[in-house]
Amino acid sequence: MASTYSDLKIELITTGEQSGTWGTTTNTNLGTALEEAITGSADVTFSSGNVTLTLTNSNATQVGRNLRLNLGGTTGGARDLVLPAIQKLYLINNGTADIITCKNASGTTVAVPAATSTFIYNTGTNVVDATSYLSTLSLGSALAVTSGGTGATTAGAARTALGTAKSGANSDITSLTGLTTALTVAQGGTGAATHTANAVLIGEGTGAITSVSPGTTGNVLTSNGTDWTSAASAGFDSGTRMIFAQNAAPTGWTKDTTNYNQHAMRIVTGTGGGTAGTVDFTSAFTSQAVAGSVAVTGISGSTSATTLSTAQIPSHTHTYDKTNFAGAFGGAKFGSPAGVSTSSATSGSTGGGGSHDHSFSFSSGTATFTGTAIDLAVKYLDVITATAD
């Protein structure tokens, strides 16, 4: 009976066969077939196309039996490496410039990036990663970002390489994109992915922020004591009169073109709305000249009688001649007695005491006056009055 072969194409000698030569077959099984499966390494060359490895019934050397497959050649793009449909561990060393996908004719696959090595396991149907867990791992250098690492050996350098921000309060975050769930209010967001355009946002405590749409033209934001709503403005009662510092009345108002032209306003504490006066505003408040004349047609009268006291009249004295006698008349001749002389003397001061009055009269006369002009041209703002429709 002829020999049979295992999945690894190890020759299985039938009992009684190969008398005298079985040793050679056994040596080839051990030295070639088993060694290739356990430690063997073979080259697989690509030439701008996919490569399919097969195993034939021979214990002679075969590429598809080797543990380590060195991929090389010119790929010209991503390629497939189709493995024999047997259960086997492979170490794939991709030395090409493109991704090589290791697979069977069907089932799952493993894509090996360019210039990398990895262990895969072929179940005969599916190709899977041989290792999915490592309890520890030490790398001689930082794992590149393109290989799933950070490309750095420190946290700060890793964040820079990955373009990420540190946790907690920081200045690394300048924008957020790609969020699939809206940030909650507690997280500093709104709790909503969208809001109505042109709406007013309303806080809802810790809940998602809501909004109030504008509603009808002219609506205002109104509080009902609990929440905010868009409602029509209460407006003014029809006939209400107001002042506007503009040429035309606003919408909903009618300009008064009949009353109050050239009027000033007066604030009162009593009843309002009254009018008075006849002079226009700009006529009254203009530069006024100071000039005119006064005519006197007649004036007459008298002063009242007044009695002057001694203290009120001018102080005055009276002068008289005084005779002086010196010695006796004995021996003197008649007519010129010896020792007699005269001198001037003054009486004591005194006043009158009688009353007197003064009379006067005036027939008529005129007088003129002038002065600096008084500028009453005060600044003003033209306003209009309008009534609510």
Q: Is the pLDDT of residue 301 over 80?
A: no
Number of domains in the chain: 3
**pLDDT for res 82:** 98
**pLDDT for res 37:** 97
**Which one of 84, 114, 129 terminates a domain?**
129
Both 230 and 244 in one domain: the answer is no
| Phi, psi for 25 (deg, rounded to 5) | -65, -40
Is 171 inside a domain boundary?
no
Is 258 inside a domain boundary?
yes
Both 387 and 275 in one domain: the answer is yes
CA nearest 51: which of 118, 98, 117, 107? 98
Both 240 and 387 in one domain: the answer is yes
Percent of the chain scoring above 70 in pLDDT: 91
Both 123 and 206 in one domain: the answer is no
**Which one of 234, 258, 275 terminates a domain?**
234
**pLDDT for res 332:** 47
Predicted confidence (pLDDT) per residue in 222-242, tens digit = 888 888 988 877 778 888 989
Predicted confidence (pLDDT) per residue in 190-207, tens digit = 888 788 888 898 888 888
* Separation of alpha carbons 274 and 266, rounded Å: 10
Kindly write down the DSSP assignment for every residue of 149-187, as one continuous string.
Answer: S-S-SSHHHHHHHHT---SSS-S--------SSPPPGGG
Q: What is the mean pLDDT of residues 383-388?
A: 86
Both 55 and 193 in one domain: the answer is no
Is 387 inside a domain boundary?
yes
Predicted confidence (pLDDT) per residue in 247-295, tens digit = 999 988 999 998 889 888 888 888 888 888 888 888 888 888 888 888 8
Is 336 inside a domain boundary?
no
* Separation of alpha carbons 337 and 331, rounded Å: 8
Is 69 inside a domain boundary?
yes
Is 303 inside a domain boundary?
no
* Separation of alpha carbons 32 and 10, rounded Å: 9
Most confident range, picked from 207-216, 296-305, 343-352: 207-216
Both 214 and 250 in one domain: the answer is no
Both 80 and 111 in one domain: the answer is yes
Is 8 inside a domain boundary?
yes
Both 125 and 9 in one domain: the answer is yes
**pLDDT for res 69:** 98
Q: Helix or strand or coil: residue 359?
A: strand
Predicted confidence (pLDDT) per residue in 111-169, tens digit = 999 999 999 999 999 999 999 998 998 888 998 898 888 989 888 888 888 877 777 77
pTM of the model: 0.44
Both 22 and 99 in one domain: the answer is yes
Is 384 inside a domain boundary?
yes
Domain residue limits at 67:
4-129
